[in-house]
Structure 1
Amino acid sequence: MSETIFESYTNKNVLITGADGFIGSHLTELLVKSGANVTALTLYNSFGNHGWLDYIPDQIHKSVTIYAGDVRDSAQMFRLTRDYDVVFHLAALIGIPYSYEAAHSYIDVNVHGTLNLLEAVRSNRVGRLVHTSTSEIYGSAQTRPISETHPIHGQSPYAASKIGADQLSESYARSHNIPVVILRPFNAFGPRQSERAVIPTAIRQILDPACDKIKLGDLSTTRDFNYINDTVRAFAMIGESNNIEFGTAYNAGSGVETSIHRVIDKLLEITKCDKKIISEKSRVRPKNSEVRALVADASRLKKATGWTCETTLEDGIHKTIDWWRNHFANGLVRRNKSFSI
């Protein structure tokens, strides 16, 4: 986790929905280190765990107030959102392949859940709501780099659900004067990311002696990869800036376009791995759903907050590989052991 400290958060009351996830757990760490009073909403489950929050350092974990619940529960959102300086809304269903099978669930969580939070913020005293968008809402790049004025295309049910949530957030800012701002991260990666994403699934298969091949999808697409420390810095900066416009979206990306193939080559080079790579049909999106290219124009965010990426792709990859190696060495790997899905 980055040692960046944001003193403006000292003694601020902050709520993070989806704090049990990849980005949410890192944002929790950053804001606790910055002196915030952090309340974390995690998804209730019968196992009694709190996702990736269970893996953050103990001294950070003990400083966090954790509530298990669900953004789909409007009454709980009303009770939970009272008297916060900033609410960061990251709770969402994010797996693109699963959205093809469970579109109703994506609407329930991503659209209705966001609506519940907006209504709760409207009724309660909240200084600012930071809503999390995704670069997937742009679809395949028609112009490069992609600015916030780029046309929107829902090329998957996941993207469509996030478009709905974004539009609701904008409408509540403009219709009800809700202090909501939309942060649109491009492809974050780093420690604790789900193996649904290409970098962690590739690293896991590269390092796992039980895997004699590396099963991946389409390697020809391009993305704008951003190390997790830079992504959570963007959240922190947009949550504190006095120069942002409510109801407006801000891209967070490096502006560097890299093919998946090049990323995999770099992973193989760093790890000195010679395993064969095979394309697995189940990992390839439907033809008209695949987003071919994404690269950000983040000049609007830079102008408003001063944010830029500080970590190169290669440095971020090295740090991510080191994390995975440590987890293998300590027997802490807990994600999928089957790569057929």
Structure 2
Amino acid sequence: SATKIGADRLAESFYRSFDLPVSIVRPFNTYGPRQSGRAIIPTIITQLLAGQQEIKQGSLTPTRDFNYVKDTAHGFMAIADCDAAIGQEINIATGVEHSIGDLANELIAQINPSARIVCEAERLRPEKSEVNRLLGDSTKLRNLTGWAPQYTFEQGLAATIEFLRGNLDQYKVGQYIL
């Protein structure tokens, strides 16, 4: 997170000093097809698609503002087409938070309702490194461009499941990847 903040300030300095047309864009928790197997959503989906009945997770209480990748891409395009966005810091977010437990339960419901979640100590992040709540406000993006997410949480997850179903061989199912 420190490098993101540093990059934001560097971009801002070039805008302020040299009139470089820059917008600082902050997408919140993008997910979807081709996402790294290290991320939470592919980790859960691949375990379920492989037929595992016990879905191994860390903490279930942190919340995230999940954006389906096509909505994130449309947000970037809307910002790129908006002159009023130049020099602005803009979030791409749904404004809705889901806990990791809620996420796991939704994926279980869509793939294998008989599966259950098992918390593993090795998957728990150190207390000082865990972010317990990430929730974005996209009011500025909506006001500047009219952008709004087109995919519900459930629709985005269903599309991600279908991609992973056809590409499961490209993922290391059940391995905890640091």
Fold in common (TM above 0.5): yes
* 2:72 maps to 1:225: no
Query: In the alignment, is the contact (CA less than 8 A) between 2:46 and 2:171 conserved in 1?
Result: no
Q: 1:207-259: CA deviations, max 9, x gaps?
A: 114x453221111011111111100001111111122132x210000111111
Name 1:165's counterpart in structure 2.
7
* Mapped partners of 2:47, 2:174: distance in 1: 10
State the Cα distance separating 1:327 from its structure 2 match.
Answer: 2.2
Query: In the alignment, is the contact (CA less than 8 A) between 1:190 and 1:228 conserved in 2?
Result: yes
Query: In the alignment, is the contact (CA less than 8 A) between 2:44 and 2:104 conserved in 1?
Result: yes
* 2:56 maps to 1:215: yes
Query: In the alignment, is the contact (CA less than 8 A) between 2:31 and 2:68 conserved in 1?
Result: yes
Name 1:271's counterpart in structure 2.
111
With normalisation by structure 2, the TM-score equals 0.92
* 2:160 maps to 1:320: yes
* Mapped partners of 1:299, 1:231: distance in 2: 15
State the Cα distance separating 1:263 from its structure 2 match.
Answer: 1.1
Question: 1:187 and 1:218, CA in 2 relative to 1: closer, same or farther beyond 3 A?
Answer: same
Query: In the alignment, is the contact (CA less than 8 A) between 1:206 and 1:273 conserved in 2?
Result: no
Q: 1:186 is aligned with what amino acid?
A: F
Q: 1:335 is aligned with what amino acid?
A: Y
Question: Which 5+ residue runs of structure 1 have no aligned equivalent?
Answer: 1-158
Larger radius of gyration: 1
* 2:128 maps to 1:288: yes
State the Cα distance separating 1:324 from its structure 2 match.
Answer: 1.4
Say which of 157, 175, 178 aligns to 1:339. Answer: 175
* Mapped partners of 2:149, 2:79: distance in 1: 14
State the Cα distance separating 1:338 from its structure 2 match.
Answer: 5.0
Structure 1 residue ranges (4+ consecutive) displaced by more than 4 angstroms after TM superposition: none
Query: In the alignment, is the contact (CA less than 8 A) between 2:66 and 2:94 conserved in 1?
Result: yes
Say which of 26, 36, 45 aligns to 1:203. Answer: 45
Q: 1:213 is aligned with what amino acid?
A: E
Query: In the alignment, is the contact (CA less than 8 A) between 1:221 and 1:259 conserved in 2?
Result: yes
Over aligned residue pairs, what C-alpha RMSD do you find? 1.6
